[in-house]
Amino acid sequence: MALKVNLLKLTATELQKLLSDGLLTSRDAVELYLAQIAKHNHSGLQLNAIISVANRTDILQRADLLDEERKQGKTRGPLHGVPIILKDICVTRNMPSTCGSYALRQGEAKVDANIIGTLNNAGLIIIAKANISELGNAKGDRLMAGWSAVGGQTKNPHVEGDIPLGAPFLTSWGPAGSSSGSATAVAAGFSPISLGTELEGSITWPAARAGLYAIKLTPGSVDQHGFQPGAAGFDCQGPYAKSSTDVAILSAIIQLLSPDHYLPLATTWNGLRLGFVEPSLWRTPGDVVEEVDGFFHQTDSALLAASTVIEGRGGTVVRSVNLSTWEEIASAMPDVDDMAELFSYQMKMTWPSFLALWDGTPQTVEDLIRWNEAHADLEFTPRDNNQRALESIRDSTMTKEQYDRNVEALRAAARGAIHKVLDNHDIDVILAPSDSRMNSVAAAAGYPLGNLPLGYADFNGRGFSLHVIAPAGDEAKIFQVMSAWEATFPENEEEEAGAIGVNFSVDY
């Protein structure tokens, strides 16, 4: 009798059980996921979630090695023999390292990012690298989220059709960014898990659109060497998955903790204390995500319904907690109006060392800008036609003293606002709609931020979620909430809407 495998729903933990029970081998799993990529990345639904696929012979040989270790009773951990996809913002020698840029695509990486060894030691199989917003959204001003010159436009797997002409850069018809490919890949069954990076929304926004569990881990808790730097103390990596258990396990692995560090996870709300912001005060502006009639009513109603269910099942719920708005927090900076100016300063300091990890590529931001100008036919489209973010990095005149002063003020304001709410209401975490600036608050504070799937938009099938924030190093509390959420609202991540509703099940 054939084994029926639904790649849309299969979690890494479920795959591990199939491997452990001898119903599937890692070689089989790699073959299944590669076939899914071939079917729907550039063909079929044309999701454009993958920039490059690892050499087939190499990864099958690695799968065979891990299968043989399993036969001998040796496993490297709970993700032994499981395929994974990485955001193409990290340097790898055996696959192209592009950050979505042709200027980097032409070169050759000298080293692997440190995390490659960590994943290999844990028994994972890196099968592909995911498309991104080019240079982690650090190339231009309001380029379409999920677009890169090398990878093209990543699509939201839950939304049918192309992005409308004239849509804002975080349009509800898109995947959001910059870790768009990593999210789409998991939602489309290209792998059970993936990794993204986030400076300000790059993991959690795509997770919300794709209906996945995900987390931006505490900045500084994961080795970032070999990753395009955003801003130290602000950015970090984090996993995407279809289950809270998978997110918790992969988080522990990349934080160099025991794989079961965050386990066991809660399945009830007993002892958990949650604060919900007033959703009407947390909206993304219409020039960033277009306003659609009825959408806010749907999301607000879903938030209220979820909080009521949680309260009825033993959780402590405080509604409309008075968290300072992003504008109030950002106003604490004495010298700058936009947090992005802090990021430009840091990138100006750190990118030369990052670019030096390649041979045959521009070695300075100035050279990269000139390369793009000289290869405009490759690097620009009529829609995505500027590199103003790169120019802001080049032109930053901020001093270290100014940077330190503004970071200190911003961080104190963000953390003060969060802890005032946590302390005043005696709660563990704060939840806010995904279409908001909660990701900015988390970045400013240097705190982890998780994603909880909440539903799918009536108007086009895009996912929407709640974002959950906790203090630095307190990922365990987010995972407990995430797991209780998964046990309570399983339908939120199981719905197959829009384009992705096609039958992705395969017989093996």
Q: Read off the pLDDT of residues 248-292 as tens digits, 9 standing for 90 and up.
A: 999 999 999 999 999 999 899 999 999 999 999 999 999 999 999
Record the pTM: 0.97
Neighbour count for residue 386 (Cβ, 10 Å): 14
Total tally of structural domains belonging to the chain: 1
Based on C-alpha coordinates, what's the Rg of the chain? 21
169: nearest Cα among 286, 264, 63, 52: 286
Alpha-carbon distance of 465 to 70, in angstroms, equals 38
pLDDT of 493 reads 58
**Is 87 a residue of the active site?**
yes
User: Is 202 designated active site?
Assistant: yes
CB atoms within 10 A of CB 325: 16
Note the helical H segments in 267-399. 295-312, 326-330, 340-355, 365-374, 376-379, 388-395
**In one letter, which amino acid is 357?**
L
CA dist., res. 395 & res. 340, Å (int) = 13
Evaluate whether residue 15 is within a structural domain. Answer: yes
Q: Is residue 81 part of a domain?
A: yes
Segment 193-208, tens digit of pLDDT = 999 999 999 999 999 9
Which residues lie below 8 Å from residue 428, measured CB to CB, with a gap of 6+?
272, 273, 274, 422, 470, 477, 481
Of 207, 254, 236, 270, nearest to 446 by C-alpha is: 236
504 within domain boundaries: no
Structure confidence by residue, pLDDT tens digits, 81-130: 999 999 999 999 999 999 999 999 999 999 999 999 999 999 999 999 99
Question: Of 178, 180, 251, 440, which residue is the catalytic one?
Answer: 178
**Residue 505 resides in a domain:** no
Which of 87, 155, 216, 477 is catalytic? The answer is 87
Q: Is 74 marked active-site?
A: no
Residue 345 counted as domain residue: yes
Percent of the chain clearing pLDDT 70 (strictly above): 97
Calculate what percentage of the chain has a pLDDT beyond 90: 95
Domain that includes residue 102, residue range: 4-498
Q: Is the pLDDT confidence value at 328 over 80?
A: yes
Read off the pLDDT band of 440 (50, 70, 90).
Answer: very high
Cα separation of 307 and 500, whole Å? 28
* Torsion of the alpha carbons at 364, 366, 369 and 375, rounded to the nearest 10: -80
Pick the catalytic residue from 202, 251, 324, 344.
Answer: 202
Residue 508 lies in a domain: no
> Is 388's pLDDT higher than 90?
yes
Across residues 352-369, what is the average pLDDT? 97
The mean pLDDT of 40-60, rounded to a whole number, is 98
Give the pLDDT mean for 285-302: 96
Tell whether 43 is covered by a domain. Answer: yes
Task: Tally Cβ neighbours within 10 Å of residue 458.
Answer: 12
Kindly tell me the burial class for residue 1, based on how many C-beta atoms sit within 10 Å of its own C-beta (0-12, 13-18, 19 or more).
exposed
465 domain residue, yes or no = yes
Q: How far apart are CA 205 and CA 451, in angstroms?
A: 8
| CATH code, 443 | 3.90.1300.10
The first and second tokens of residue 187, run together, are 């939602």
